[in-house]
C-alpha cells in the first residue's frame, strides 16, 4: 500500500515535528511492512530534515510555486500512484486536490486539521475566507483528521457533511525517549538557587500571546516580592525584539530569559516548578502534553482548543481566562499551592504518545475506518 504524506516544508514548527514523529511511529508499528510511506515537500532543506525516518522515501519539489508547483506536484503524485494521500495542512490539501482526477479512483484522501476553524487573532475577513475554504474543500476528503475533540467540533459545526467526516486522532506528541531527554543535565543560572522557575515553550509569535504572560509575571513579582520568581521562555520567532523591549519596560529583565531555541526543552521543563502557557488558540498544545508526561504541573489560558480537554476541565491543572494578566498571576500562585498527583499528570501525558497515534493511523489506512 502506497501512502503519501504531503507537507509544505521541513523548517521549524509544530506541524513539521509532529509529522516526522508520526512517520517514525508508523514505520515502527507497521510490523507487517505493509505500508510504503512517502513524504512530499514543496521546499527543500529545513532544520527538521534530519528527522525524516530512513524508512520513508523523501521527495522534494524544489521550492517552486504557482504553475510550476502544480505541474511538479501532479507529476510526483502520478508517479507514486498512491492508495492514500495525507495532507498535513489545509493549504496542501487544496493544492493536491487539483490532481485527484488523475489518480486512481479508489485513492483515499485525508486532511489533518491542527487548529480551530476561526482564530482569535485573525480579522473577520480572514476568518471568513478560512471558513469558506474549509466548507468548500474539506467535504471532498474521505476524512478530516482533527488533532483534538475541540478542533473537531469547530469543523463539524460547519455543515452536516463535515459532521460525518470529521474525526479525532490525537497528535503524536510523546516519544519513548522523552524521559531520557528530560534527565539530561541542564545548566542555567535560574536553577542555581532556590528560585521558583516558570517555564514556557513555543514560537515567539502572536498566537502564544507572551505579552499577557510577561504582564502577569510582572504583577507576580510586584505582589509577591518575597518570592524569587524567574521566567524562562524557550523558543525563537518574529516577536523577539518586541518582547525584549516589553521586558525592559516592565522592569523584569533580571528575572526573565528569552533563552531561544533548544532541541531539548524537556530538561528545562523537568527542572522548573511550573509549565505556563498564555496562548490565544491552540489545537493540541504539544509542550503542555510533554510537560504533563514529565510530571510537571501546568497553568494555562483557557483558549480554544486543547488546554481544557487535556487538563480535563481543570482537574489536572489550572485554567485561567485569556488576556487577563491578574488572573494568570493568581493562577500561578494557586497552582503552586496545589499538591498534584505526579503519576496522574504523567499518565494523562502518555495518553498522547506517538505509538498510540501511529497505531490509529495504521488502522485507518488498513481498514478505512477509525
Helix (H, G, I), strand (E, B) or coil at 203: coil
Q: What does the pLDDT read at residue 121?
A: 62
Q: Could you state, in order of their start, the residue ranges of all structural domains in the chain? A: 2-172+353-367, 178-350
Evaluated on CA atoms 1, 30, 115, 163, the torsion sign reads positive
pTM listed for this prediction: 0.88
Provide the H-helix boundaries in the chain: 14-29, 66-80, 90-97, 124-137, 149-156, 160-165, 178-182, 210-223, 240-250, 266-271, 286-294, 307-310, 325-336, 342-350, 354-367
Place of cell 510550476: 68
Whether the Cβ atoms of residue 43 and residue 60 lie closer than 8 Å to each other: yes
Pick the CATH number of 178-350 from 3.10.129.10, 3.40.50.2000, 3.30.470.20, 3.90.45.10: 3.40.50.2000
| Same topology between domain 2-172+353-367 and domain 178-350 | yes
Q: Burial letters for 58-68: b for 16+ Cβ neighbours within 10 Å, e otherwise? A: ebbbeeeeeee
Divide the 370 residues of the chain into consecutive groups of 10 and give the mean pLDDT of each group.
Answer: 95 84 96 95 87 95 80 94 96 94 95 87 83 95 96 95 96 92 96 95 94 98 97 95 98 97 94 98 93 98 94 97 98 96 97 96 88
Whether the Cβ atoms of residue 38 and residue 2 lie closer than 8 Å to each other: yes
| CATH placement of domain 2-172+353-367 | 3.40.50.2000
Helix (H, G, I), strand (E, B) or coil at 57: strand
Burial class (CB in 10 A: 0-12, 13-18, 19+), 102: exposed
DSSP string covering 228-292 = -EEEEEEB--TTHHHHHHHHHHHT-TTTEEEEE--S-THHHHHHSSEEEE--SB-SS-HHHHHHH
Q: At what angle do helices 286-294 and 14-29 cross, to 10 degrees?
A: 60
Question: Which helix or strand (DSSP H or E) is residue 300 part of?
Answer: strand 298-301
Q: What does the pLDDT read at residue 19?
A: 94
Return the C-alpha cell found at 226.
Answer: 518575597
Q: What does the pLDDT read at residue 47?
A: 81
Amino acid at each position: 500500500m502506497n501512502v503519501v504524506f504531503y507537507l509544505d516544508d521541513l523548517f521549524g514548527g509544530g506541524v513539521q515535528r509532529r509529522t516526522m514523529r508520526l512517520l517514525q511511529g508508523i514505520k515502527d508499528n507497521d510490523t507487517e511492512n505493509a505500508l510504503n510511506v512517502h513524504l512530499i515537500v514543496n521546499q527543500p532543506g529545513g532544520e527538521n530534515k534530519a528527522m525524516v525516518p530512513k524508512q520513508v522515501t523523501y521527495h522534494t519539489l524544489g521550492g517552486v510555486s504557482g504553475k510550476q508547483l502544480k505541474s511538479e506536484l501532479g507529476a510526483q503524485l502520478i508517479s507514486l500512484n498512491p492508495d492514500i494521500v495525507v495532507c498535513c495542512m489545509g493549504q496542501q490539501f487544496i493544492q493536491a486536490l487539483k490532481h485527484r482526477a488523475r489518480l486512481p479512483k479508489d485513492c483515499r484522501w485525508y486532511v489533518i486539521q491542527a487548529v480551530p476553524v476561526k482564530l482569535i487573532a485573525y480579522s473577520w475577513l480572514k476568518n471568513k475566507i478560512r471558513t469558506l475554504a474549509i466548507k468548500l474543500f474539506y467535504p471532498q476528503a474521505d476524512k478530516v483528521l482533527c488533532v483534538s475533540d475541540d478542533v473537531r467540533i469547530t469543523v463539524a459545526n460547519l455543515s452536516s457533511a463535515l459532521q460525518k467526516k470529521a474525526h479525532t486522532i490525537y497528535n503524536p506528541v510523546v516519544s519513548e525517549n522523552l524521559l531520557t531527554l528530560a534527565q539530561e543535565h541542564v545548566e542555567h543560572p535560574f536553577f542555581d538557587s532556590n528560585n521558583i522557575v516558570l517555564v514556557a515553550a513555543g514560537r515567539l509569535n502572536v498566537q502564544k500571546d507572551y505579552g499577557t504572560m510577561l504582564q502577569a509575571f510582572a504583577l507576580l513579582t510586584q505582589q509577591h516580592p518575597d518570592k524569587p520568581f524567574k521566567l524562562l521562555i524557550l523558543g525563537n520567532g518574529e516577536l523577539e525584539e518586541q518582547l525584549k523591549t516589553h521586558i525592559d519596560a516592565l522592569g523584569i529583565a533580571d528575572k526573565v530569559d528569552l533563552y531561544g531555541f533548544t532541541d531539548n526543552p524537556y530538561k528545562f521543563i523537568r527542572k522548573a516548578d511550573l509549565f505556563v502557557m498564555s496562548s490565544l488558540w491552540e489545537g493540541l498544545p504539544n509542550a503542555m502534553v510533554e510537560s504533563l508526561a514529565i510530571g510537571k504541573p501546568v497553568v494555562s489560558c483557557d483558549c480554544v482548543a486543547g488546554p481544557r480537554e487535556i487538563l480535563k476541565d481543570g482537574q489536572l491543572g489550572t485554567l485561567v481566562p485569556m488576556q487577563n494578566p491578574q488572573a494568570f498571576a493568581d493562577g500561578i500562585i494557586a497552582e503552586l499551592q496545589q499538591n498534584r498527583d505526579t503519576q496522574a499528570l504523567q499518565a494523562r501525558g502518555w495518553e498522547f504518545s506517538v505509538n498510540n497515534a501511529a497505531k490509529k493511523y495504521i488502522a485507518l489506512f488498513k481498514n478505512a475506518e477509525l
